[in-house]
Amino acid sequence: MTTTTTRARAAVRPVSPPRGLLLALLRLHRTALWFWLGLVAVAAAALLWALGPGADAAWAEYRGMGCDGGAPDLGCDLPGPAFFRYETTVTVVIGILFLLPTLTAAWAGGSLIGRELESGTAQFAWTQSVTPARWLAAKLAVPALLLVPGTLAITLLHRTLWTSDHHLMRVLAWRAWYDDGVFEANGVLATAHALAALALGVLSGVLLRRALPALGVAVAAMASLTSVLDDLRPHLWPTPPGTPSLMHKHPASHFWPLQLVETGIVMAVAALATATAFLVLRRRTGAAV
């Protein structure tokens, strides 16, 4: 009797293998999942507010001060409280995008991989029916599939804001398209940075196998990458002849060439880190696939 019930239970497969692993990962990292969803919601809500009521109030204030008449007026350079709220909101969103790679690298190195290898829960998974390579693939795929749409949604909203409220953003807030924060938030670069941070964090976790050292090295690696890229950025596309390689010497039409070249570099770093992580894990465990 026991055997038949066992067989009957076994015949009812509740989940398919890959889906089981993905669901398990979402449950294991649900704190990070909720944190990320919350962060995306806050950033999106802030940008939507800025696009609608925030911009309207700032414009109303601007007009109330008699500043849209065209006559030069020194008072128009000193924004009022409505503009201040608008400006702060946009700054917070750019700050979130700026911090995202650091947070991602720290989490990926420390919590996603390092802690699991340190405590042995990774090895626990590998002695279930999950190969180390599939485990690592899932550990990369699940966060990547959540990071990409979230970051893209924020950058799309920011881009909409940038194109529709250009006067508020550029004239009053003193922002230019080539500022580090604006440049990253307007294209695909913020997403690429987040993915590279994930890959570098995972590699650091796989290499160091301990949560805190992996967290530290992942953050340091991501910070170095960002700093190198910031220095490199103006050189990624030729400036007009006779001008030095500085961001503000690039015409605005260089936005996409510069974005795409840098995105390519960042994604190559991410791919390299990912491949190395798989190789290291395979060398250690000797498991084929």
Partner 1 sequence: MTDTAIEAAGLGRRFRRRRGPALDGCAFRLPAGSVCALTGPNGAGKSTLLALAAGLLRPTEGTITVLGTTPAAARERLAHVAQNKPLHPQLTVAGTLRLGRDLNPRRWDARAAERIVAEGDLDPDTKIRALSGGQRTRVALALALGKRPELLLLDEPMADLDPLARHQLTATLMADAADRGTTVVMSSHVVAELEGSCDHLLLLGSGRVRLAGPLDDLLAAHTLVTGRAGDALDPHTVVESRTTGRQLTAMVRPAGPLGDVLQGDRPSLEEVVLAHLRSPDAPPLLLDAREAAV
Of 17-25, 67-75, 190-198, 216-224, the window that binds partner 1 (rule: CB under 8 A) is 17-25
DSSP 240: S
Of 6-14, 89-97, 170-178, 272-280, the window that binds partner 1 (rule: CB under 8 A) is 6-14
DSSP 176: -
Residue whose pair of structure tokens reads 């991602």 in the numeric block: 104
d(CA 232, CA 245): 10
Binding-site member from 20, 80, 181, 216 for partner 1 (CB under 8 A): 20
Please state the closest distance from residue 221 (CB atom) to partner 1, in A: 22
d(CA 164, CA 161): 5
Which residues from 90-129 bind partner 1, rule CB under 8 A?
Answer: 119-121, 123-129
**Cβ count near 19 (within 10 Å):** 10
The smaller minimum CB distance to partner 1, of residues 16 and 253, is found at: 16
Of 3-11, 37-45, 210-218, 230-238, the window that binds partner 1 (rule: CB under 8 A) is 3-11
**Cβ count near 196 (within 10 Å):** 29
Q: Should residue 8 be labelled a site residue for partner 1 when binding is judged by CB under 8 A?
A: no
Q: Should residue 10 be labelled a site residue for partner 1 when binding is judged by CB under 8 A?
A: yes
CB 47 within 8 A of CB 154: yes
Binding-site member from 55, 90, 130, 197 for partner 1 (CB under 8 A): 130
Would you report the helix, strand and coil content of the chain in percent, each value rounded to 5? 80, 0, 20
Q: Should residue 280 be labelled a site residue for partner 1 when binding is judged by CB under 8 A?
A: no
Q: Should residue 131 be labelled a site residue for partner 1 when binding is judged by CB under 8 A?
A: yes
**Cβ count near 181 (within 10 Å):** 17
Count of residues that interact with partner 1, criterion CB under 8 A: 34
Q: Should residue 283 be labelled a site residue for partner 1 when binding is judged by CB under 8 A?
A: yes
User: Please, which residues have CB within 8 angstroms of residue 236's CB and are 6 or more apart in sequence?
Assistant: 257, 258, 261, 262, 265
Binding map of partner 1 across residues 27-56, x = CB under 8 A, - = no contact: xx--x-------------------------
Q: Should residue 14 be labelled a site residue for partner 1 when binding is judged by CB under 8 A?
A: yes
Counting Cβ atoms within 10 Å, is residue 202 exposed (0-12), middle (13-18) or buried (19+)? Answer: buried
The smaller minimum CB distance to partner 1, of residues 65 and 137, is found at: 137
> Helix 211-232 to helix 255-285 angle, to the nearest 10 degrees?
150
CB 261 within 8 A of CB 250: no
Of 7-15, 37-45, 74-82, 199-207, the window that binds partner 1 (rule: CB under 8 A) is 7-15
* Residue 106 tokens, joined: 């720290």
Of 21-29, 77-85, 186-194, 260-268, the window that binds partner 1 (rule: CB under 8 A) is 21-29
Please state the closest distance from residue 212 (CB atom) to partner 1, in A: 17
Residues engaged in binding partner 1 (CB under 8 A): 5-6, 9-10, 13-17, 20-21, 23-24, 27-28, 31, 119-121, 123-131, 283-288
